[in-house]
Structure 1
Amino acid sequence: MKRFLSSYLFLIVSAIIVLIIQFFWSPFEIKKNENETVAFFSHEKDTLKVLLTFHASDYFIYKGTPIGFQYELLKELKKAIGKPLDIKVMSNFDSVYSEVFKNQYDIIALDFRRSGIVAPLVTFSYPHSFTYPVIITRKEVKVIDSVDKKVFVPNYYHHFISTEELKQKNFNLVFQKENNSEELFDLIQDKKIDYMVCDYHLAVTLLPFYSSLKILETAGPTYERSWVLNKNNIELNQEINNWIVTFSKTKKYTHLIKKYFSPHSAVISGSFTKSTRNSISSYDHIIKKYASKYNVDWRFAASIIFQESKFQNGLVGLGGSYGLMQLMPETMEHFGINEFSSDEEHIAAGIKYISLIAKSFQNITNKIEQYHFIAASYNAGRGHVLDAQRLCEKYLENSTQWDFVSKYLILKSKSEYANDPVVKSGFFPGKHAVKYANEVVERYEAYLLMYP
């Protein structure tokens, strides 16, 4: 009888597990016929779809530039597999969590604990790094002075780690529905709460912004950080895993770990103020005003200003270029300004100049491609970029694609190309202009994600 009951219970539990798996998986498959399932994303496709979260240690904008451990890790993966990444950034962790089971992305770059009830339902990459939970408090606090003291858990953290270790320490855990880690750091600093838990990586990223806070103690064992992969991409997942294993043994990987997760990280040290998600710079309202007037995307204009001056006024550059937008003396004269003009006048002139450059590339309908041409022209001058386009046409390559044009812009440093009859502006060391344009557009794309 006992054996019968055990078998019966086993069948019931097995059936429940099967139903759970079908519930999570089957709605997200495309049926080609009764015997074949086609994945949303195949290994052969040209672009990898990636979901990334806005997170202080993994993806954020620092002084106008997109950085973060996960972000740079993905950039290295892109180089290795030779496929562009279509990255979507979400700031709501509950929304990200809901995407885990849908298999609509090739990579979901967030931390997710392998143990737990849902772990068998998702496909993990090999671990790309390791971390552990810590308790954050103010520097004057020596120990948690009471077992009844509340320890606040950020709104997403319970998705990624087990809280059993924390409960074993007799912490009175308070799970937050609204407050994220940065907001809890603020509350501790303002003495509205006393303790919170977060992972070590996040702690070393945020603590330089909060001089009155510290790590009090370790709150649990080390755990793996892995990506969630699309279960249908068997070959691609193996390629990603092989890359993680190989890359984690390189000096570049060691550099990234030290860069972001050392207490003395070069990225997070130094004198700077805490940034917010609400603005790129203190000049945003002026940039938006004139960008609207001259039909320029204000985030693209902001990216150029950052590239030129990092939003610092009064700078004098090569050839007498001046101000926030580093306009040349001749350009300033053309727009009726000088070094004594206001910051607003310089921004207005610079954005109008961008709009004039754009007219030379109206035939390029892809906005991202077009912005490469505009940025390179802002840096090098339109003549050199137009030369590179003519060289493209001469050698039967597409003169509206930046990959081809940038190649010939660099080749203009060689006499055989600089002296070509189709070249009107002569020699030019184009490598810097190509780097400039790529950085401006990459930052612009990050601004698009952060400031839609």
Structure 2
Amino acid sequence: MKKAFTITLYLLVFTLFGVQCTFFEKEKKQENYWENPVPLDLEEIVKRGYIRAIVDNSSTSYYIYRGRRMGYEFEMLRNFASNLGVRLHLIVKSDIDEAFYLLNKGKADIIAMNLEVTEERQKFAQFTEPLGQMGTVLVQRKQPSKIDSVEKLENKVIHIRKDAVYKAQLCELQKAHGISFSVLEEKGDSENFVQKVVKKEIDYTIVDRVVGLVNATYYDNLDVSLEISPKSDVAWAVRTNAPDLQKSINEWIGQKNKSGYINMMYAKYFQNSKNSYFRSNSPFSSLAGNNISPFDGLIQKGAETLGWDWRLLASLVYKESRFDTAATSYAGAVGLLQLMPVTLERFGVEDPNDPLQSLMGGVNYLRYLDKFWRERVPESNERIKVILASYNIGHGHVEDAWKLAVKYGKNAQNWESISHFLKLKSDPEYYRDPIVNLGFAKGHLAVNYVDDIMILYDSYRVLIEP
């Protein structure tokens, strides 16, 4: 009854105001943020050591599965970042207009959302060479009265993702076929709209053909047979004043097309529907559930003891053991938190293969490290990074770096200063300093270790509820 009333209301409004294709569009901000993009190109990105990319949270773009980051765009971006020798920082957004805003304001460097290259979008950004082609389809439920031709869209209400190319495609259909239907734009990613169709909250939406096909594999009651727009090029977007970054991406695309890497990634996420379905519908997927691992309950208990966000502790556990209770390192570290035999004994772990004992042994060690650093690094967010580095390389080496920061007049309560000197512990000028107790260390590895955990934690915070 409610649905019938809503549709009747839509039709009444459309009758009064006429142009159904544009009625629901909100007035856009007048700020021409794209006219003066922040000057930031490849050299500056490489110098700072990381590149920021905007992606969707979807089964084909980016998601968490059993603690591991996955997705077509994610793996492609990770490969490109590795090619540049920088780290990858991801920004998860579903609003395309906001993505262009962040890009031009210098808050992101790449938009990797399989964007169709249009004349309108070339005002906001410049595009790379195509990474592939994608068409669009109508998503509806299977039923006797299903829409099997464009003409049958007459007087229908179609819900679509805001700022996507779908609206322009639908308006072209109206003009070409002389039909009248209504378009309602809303924020959200494509799979969110597909879910609404499945749950009978809406009747129709438009998505990329490959997204429609993947979801039609998951849900038997979906029909994606009606093509709205034929295949067209899709690409990544960068700022208009970043020609070196664009050139670097284009060269990378050329290399990866020749090697077959891009085809392999496409097959993995768009053609292997069974595996995609299994991952996307797992309770340990950020798309279907809110679990990271089978040990979330234990991790939450340990995090409460520490006063940490449980997703941070989960990030550490994933980094150490991939949630494998039987994991053993080359150095003999064992268990979920990879403790060495001497540490196991010190913190009362009798059975390192027991998940609870192993985890709580590691938690007790982290509590010890927290106590060790509390007065020297009082701010908790800074101290957590120091604790993680100590967990990896030993607090003695980190203490040496802290002493060097003090000696050279840097802020020794700040992880950035401590990490700077930790990396210098492979330089004889620093590791032979009389105040250094433990000498040489590959401190850069410990700094990378902390970065890896914090990057993963950022992903968990965005995709997994507290």
What is the TM-score when the length of structure 1 is the normalising length? 0.65
- Give the secondary-structure state (helix, strand or coil) at the position aligned to 1:220: strand
- Give the secondary-structure state (helix, strand or coil) at the position aligned to 2:251: helix
Q: Give 1:339's match in structure 2, choosing from 337, 351, 361.
A: 351
The total of aligned residue pairs comes to 412
Instruction: Flag structure 2 segments of 5+ consecutive residues without an equivalent.
Output: 1-26
- Give the secondary-structure state (helix, strand or coil) at the position aligned to 1:248: helix
Contact persistence 2:405–2:418 (CA under 8 A): no
> Residues 400, 105 of structure 1: CA spacing in aligned structure 2 closer, same or farther, 3 A cutoff?
closer
Q: Following the alignment from structure 1 to structure 2, what is the Cα–Cα distance between the partners of residues 260 and 355?
A: 44
Q: Following the alignment from structure 1 to structure 2, what is the Cα–Cα distance between the partners of residues 393 and 62?
A: 42
> Residues 241, 180 of structure 1: CA spacing in aligned structure 2 closer, same or farther, 3 A cutoff?
closer
Contact persistence 1:134–1:218 (CA under 8 A): yes
Which whole-Å deviations, capped at 9, do the CAs of 1:163-201 have from their partners, x for residues lacking one?
246656889776463664323444555677776532145
Contact persistence 2:128–2:246 (CA under 8 A): yes
Provide the alpha-carbon RMSD of the alignment: 5.5
Amino acid at match of 1:121: K
Name the counterpart of 2:316. 304
> Residues 329, 82 of structure 1: CA spacing in aligned structure 2 closer, same or farther, 3 A cutoff?
closer
Query: Shift of the alpha carbon at 1:289?
Result: 4.7
> Residues 238, 183 of structure 1: CA spacing in aligned structure 2 closer, same or farther, 3 A cutoff?
closer
Name the counterpart of 1:250. 255
Q: Which moved more, 1:344-353 or 1:334-343?
A: 334-343
Q: Following the alignment from structure 2 to structure 1, what is the Cα–Cα distance between the partners of residues 273 and 458?
A: 24
Query: Shift of the alpha carbon at 1:400?
Result: 4.7
Query: Shift of the alpha carbon at 1:249?
Result: 0.9
Name the counterpart of 1:439. 452
Structure 2 counterparts to residues 359-438 of structure 1, below 5 A:
359=371, 374-379=387-392, 381-382=394-395, 400-402=417-419, 405=422, 437-438=450-451
- Check if 1:276 corresponds to 2:278: no
Amino acid at match of 1:247: W
Contact persistence 1:207–1:213 (CA under 8 A): yes
Q: Following the alignment from structure 2 to structure 1, what is the Cα–Cα distance between the partners of residues 219 and 263?
A: 22
> Residues 205, 346 of structure 1: CA spacing in aligned structure 2 closer, same or farther, 3 A cutoff?
farther
Q: Which moved more, 1:419-428 or 1:66-75?
A: 419-428
> Residues 211, 145 of structure 1: CA spacing in aligned structure 2 closer, same or farther, 3 A cutoff?
closer
Structure 2 counterparts to residues 4-403 of structure 1, below 5 A:
23-25=30-32, 40-43=38-41, 50=52, 52-56=54-58, 57-75=60-78, 78=81, 88-91=91-94, 93=95, 96=98, 99=101, 103-105=105-107, 107=109, 109=111, 110-115=113-118, 118-119=120-121, 121-130=123-132, 131-135=134-138, 145=148, 148=152, 153-156=159-162, 158-159=164-165, 162-164=168-170, 175=184, 177=186, 180-187=189-196, 196-203=205-212, 216=225, 218-231=227-240, 234=241, 237-251=242-256, 254-262=260-268, 263-264=270-271, 269=276, 271-272=278-279, 273-274=281-282, 275-276=285-286, 279-281=290-292, 283-284=295-296, 286-312=298-324, 314-315=325-326, 317-318=328-329, 323-339=335-351, 343=355, 346-359=358-371, 374-379=387-392, 381-382=394-395, 400-402=417-419
Which whole-Å deviations, capped at 9, do the CAs of 1:14-48 have from their partners, x for residues lacking one?
xxxxxx999442x787xxxxxxxx76444575658
- Give the secondary-structure state (helix, strand or coil) at the position aligned to 1:66: strand
Amino acid at match of 1:315: A
> Residues 190, 85 of structure 1: CA spacing in aligned structure 2 closer, same or farther, 3 A cutoff?
closer
Contact persistence 2:81–2:87 (CA under 8 A): yes
- Give the secondary-structure state (helix, strand or coil) at the position aligned to 2:186: coil
Contact persistence 1:134–1:198 (CA under 8 A): yes
Contact persistence 1:100–1:108 (CA under 8 A): no
Contact persistence 2:336–2:355 (CA under 8 A): yes
Amino acid at match of 1:125: F
Contact persistence 1:291–1:297 (CA under 8 A): yes
Amino acid at match of 1:255: Y
Name the counterpart of 2:19. none
Query: Shift of the alpha carbon at 1:246?
Result: 0.8
Q: Following the alignment from structure 1 to structure 2, what is the Cα–Cα distance between the partners of residues 400 and 158?
A: 43
- Taking only the aligned residue pairs, the percentage that are identical comes to 23
Which whole-Å deviations, capped at 9, do the CAs of 1:288-336 have from their partners, x for residues lacking one?
4543442334332110112234345x43534775543344454444344
What is the TM-score when the length of structure 2 is the normalising length? 0.63
Which whole-Å deviations, capped at 9, do the CAs of 1:36-89 have from their partners, x for residues lacking one?
xx7644457565884614332333223223343444454455556677776543
Q: Following the alignment from structure 2 to structure 1, what is the Cα–Cα distance between the partners of residues 80 and 378?
A: 29
Instruction: Flag structure 1 segments of 5+ consecutive residues without an equivalent.
Output: 1-19, 30-37
Q: Following the alignment from structure 2 to structure 1, what is the Cα–Cα distance between the partners of residues 360 and 406?
A: 35
Contact persistence 1:133–1:218 (CA under 8 A): yes
